Amino acid sequence: MKKLTLVAFSLFCSLAAMAQRNCGSMDNLNNQLLQDPAMQDRMEQIEQHTQNYAAHHQHGERVVVTIPVVFHIIHNGDAVGSGENISDTYIMAQLDQLNKDYRKLNSDVSLVPSVFAGLAADAEIQFCLAQRKPDGTATTGINRVNMGQASWAQNQIESTLKPQTIWDRNKYLNVWSCIFGGSSANLLGYAQFPGGTANTDGVICTYTSFGSVATPNPAGGVYGKGRTLTHEVGHWLNLRHIWGDASCGNDQVSDTPTQQTSNYGCPSHPHVTCSNVNGDMFMNYMDYVDDGCMYMFSNGQKTRMQALFASGGSRVSLATSDGCTAPSGGGTTCGSPASLAAGSLTASGATLSWTAASGATSYNVQYKVSTASTWTTVSASSNSLSLTGLSASTTYSWQVQAVCSSGTSAYVAGSNFTTSASGGGGTCTDTYESNNSKSTAKTMAKNADITASIGTSTDVDWFKFTTTTADPKVKINLSNLAGDYDVKLYRSNTQVGISENSGTTAEQIIYNGTTSAYTYYVYVYGYGGAFSASQCYTLRASTGATNFKTMEMEVAPNEISTLSLFPNPSKDKVTIGFVATANDNVTVRIFDVMGRQISQQNAATNEGANNIGVDVSQLANGYYFVQVDNGTMKQQGRFVVAH
């Protein structure tokens, strides 16, 4: 492991064997430092803040940061969809790929070698198309600009193109596409690191790189699947190349192996350099491999990026930008659907969903067998549509168009989906689909294991069972997890338990709070869209007449068990529910995600079920932890404040 230290920034860049993916960002940084010597001091302050954050922050989940993006499509008078004036389809595919890569929702993350699998991170950063301009008027987030020039050298980009078109960098991530020319002709793209000047801040890429794994740009070849922007946004979020831009250099991240230099193409693992025992992490987005061979950020890289959005971080203003919120009154612009997803796949059906487009009153949805030439067109009144009557084991293509009072958007293509085989799919005895809502919950047997799967990033599972007065105590176990799966327990419509362990750690909920008979609902879901179409989880609902004891420890006299929080998320008050085995006094403490205590209160408890209310109306939106301590045992839970 590399030691995290504050060092002078290395600007070495190996020029040997350079293919298209080269050192544009580091060259740009070098030029900026030469022109603005004070930038070095600003970057060192940012690095010190990053090191302090890495040393002291809690490694749990944070509130997901949403960054408004404006795409500046620079062209020379070409019609939309031709030449560098790329179509909405490739722009939306690029945005979708960016979101998948930064939220660890990319399907190829399954290819990460086992030695690195535990390091692959959901960066908890996502991106939306801007819905309002800096002047407050409506926008689609796509700004097409005819600059009257066929190609652009890097000095022209920095002196003219960016300053004339940039939107407020404190509210937007500015992304430009263009044709590079002159000495910059072989560039794929480059980014400005935090600490640079305001009128050039953002990322610029060649137009041929815009696309996704699902919708590759044929003009980009091996660099047409959208990973150039993923890589360059990483620089914009303060990530270095994984080899540290020096022979066996330091990228300031502790969990990325030291490697000798950049990798190209699609290496085979392990590729060992610099005596790194597990080989190079060449599949990291911050190496130079082909788009189809990079598919992960590490936990340490996530920490560096998240530091920018903590208090005092250089990009913290983006976390509260209103750029993703359409102005009141709407305007006449018709936005495009985004984040298209297909889920709830059965042998004969699927549920299609997408992010609502600004100004849309309805949507046109087209779908077809992928090999067919004719589309079936249907209308949807909301941003989702359930398809029925599909054929089993068949791959379908689909696309969505927003319909607005002022006109329609271009069609945006979603990733192909494949229906399951007749009679179920995967290795589960029963997939229990469709059970994607509480109203369609499937009945499950008590005191018996069942297996089911979360088959897509949008799939969720609901189950139900009923207790009697002879077996009112409940324990839920969720195990054999393929990803970061979580579970909630509802008593009728009231949430009475939640378990949200990280990674593939098994989940458990115990609810001993009643002696009455109820119908319970179990909600199983993947955190951040985690799923596996091939691996099934195991779920068991145990019921009995006596209190269950926790997974972690035996419940001794005067201890507290079964901490539940509801409503969760909450905007004004959180109720903490638990069962005490004796009359006692407890201390209730609230902590933020940095581990700092926010509040403390004392309360008396009675033997049996207890509820303690905590006022959270003055807390900022985000994740918090609550701890209930009776002197012999501390029980902790997590909740979200969302005003």
| Of 542, 571, 577, the residue nearest 641 (C-alpha) | 571
| Of 489, 602, 505, the residue nearest 552 (C-alpha) | 505
**pTM confidence score:** 0.54
Residue ranges of the alpha helices (H) in 516-597?
none
Q: Domains of the chain, with CATH numbers?
A: 24-54+62-244+295-320 (3.40.390.10), 340-418 (2.60.40.10), 438-544 (2.60.120.380), 560-641 (2.60.40.1930)
Residue listed under structure tokens 């499509």 = 73
Residue ranges of the alpha helices (H) in 357-435?
none
Order of all β-strands in the sheet with 384-387? 338-343, 350-355, 384-387
Residue listed under structure tokens 């995290």 = 4
- The whole-number pLDDT of residue 104 equals 95
Three-class SS state of 159: helix
Residues 259-308 have pLDDT tens digits of: 999 999 999 999 999 988 899 999 999 999 999 999 999 999 999 999 99
Do the beta carbons of residue 618 and residue 58 sit within 8 Å? no
Q: Which pairing describes strands 65-75 and 142-146: parallel, antiparallel, or unpaired?
A: parallel
Tell me the HSE value of 363 on the side-chain side, using a 13 A CA sphere.
Answer: 26
The Cα 9–Cα 29 span in angstroms is 10
Within 10 angstroms of residue 440's Cβ, the number of other Cβ atoms is 13
Phi, psi of 93 (to 5 degrees): -65, -40
| Of 580, 643, 588, the residue nearest 616 (C-alpha) | 643
The Cα 259–Cα 240 span in angstroms is 13
Residues 374-426 have pLDDT tens digits of: 778 888 888 888 888 888 778 898 999 888 866 678 788 888 888 876 533 34
Locate the DSSP E strands across 135-219.
142-146, 173-178, 189-191, 203-206
Flag residues of the chain having pLDDT under 70.
Answer: 1-27, 58-62, 329-333, 405-407, 421-427, 429, 502, 549-563, 581, 592-597, 631-634
| DSSP-assigned letter for residue 318 | G
- Of 84, 232, 433, 559, the active-site residue reads 232
The contacts of residue 182 (CB under 8 Å, 6+ apart) are 151, 153, 154, 156
Active site residue 559: no
| Of 112, 67, 96, the residue nearest 227 (C-alpha) | 96
